[in-house]
Amino acid sequence: MTEAWELLAEDQGAVLIDVRTHAEWSYVGVPLLDDPARDVLMIEWLSYPAMQANPDFAVQLQAELSNRNVKQDAALLFLCRSGVRSKSAASVMTELWQGPCYNIASGFEGDLDEEKHRGHQNGWKQAGLPWRQF
């Protein structure tokens, strides 16, 4: 997790993309970057509530990157709850993007612990990285 944070801090052109659902952004929270001028892109990989694949994900992301004048060789970092959806998104974008695409493996909430709860052993929130709730 700290590797992703360090890359985002060192490379001002790198982009953090949160692929969770609107419900997760609203109820669980969203990551923040140190620079208020740098927004986290939020585009659903699976659409809530049906949790069906967003067929327009790549098109929506490329349009948003273009609107923000993101360079084609910029690093893209993908985040979801636990690293599963973001891994798929990073794989798809690796085929379409010139720059490196990274999956943040432990995600925003991290892996399940022994009691089947998230947020206790790894992930963005557990690492103490900045975030907020709506």
Quote the pLDDT of residue 25. Answer: 96
pLDDT band at 13 (very low <50, low <70, confident <90, very high): very high
Q: Angle 57-67/84-96 helices, nearest 10 degrees?
A: 70
Residue for token pair 């740098």:
38
Give CA–CA dist 51/74, Å, rounded.
29
Q: What is the pLDDT of residues 94-131, one digit of tens each?
A: 999 999 999 999 999 998 888 888 888 899 999 999 99
Q: Is 80 exceeded by the pLDDT of residue 37?
A: no
Strand order in the sheet with 41-42: 41-42, 15-18, 76-79, 101-103
Residue 124's nearest CA partner among 8, 22, 32 is 32
Q: Which domains does the chain have, with CATH numbers?
A: 2-132 (3.40.250.10)
Query: 68: Cβ–Cβ under 8 A, 6 or more apart, which residues?
Result: 15
Percentage of the chain lying above the pLDDT 90 cut: 81
Quote the pLDDT of residue 112. Answer: 84
Report which of residues 71 and 48 the model is more confident about: 71
Q: Which helix (H) or strand (E) holds 15?
A: strand 15-18
- Judged by DSSP in three states, 52 sits in strand
| Strand-pair category, 30-31 with 41-42 | unpaired
Quote the pLDDT of residue 134. Answer: 80
CB distance 5 to 31 below 8 Å: no
Quote the pLDDT of residue 1. Answer: 76
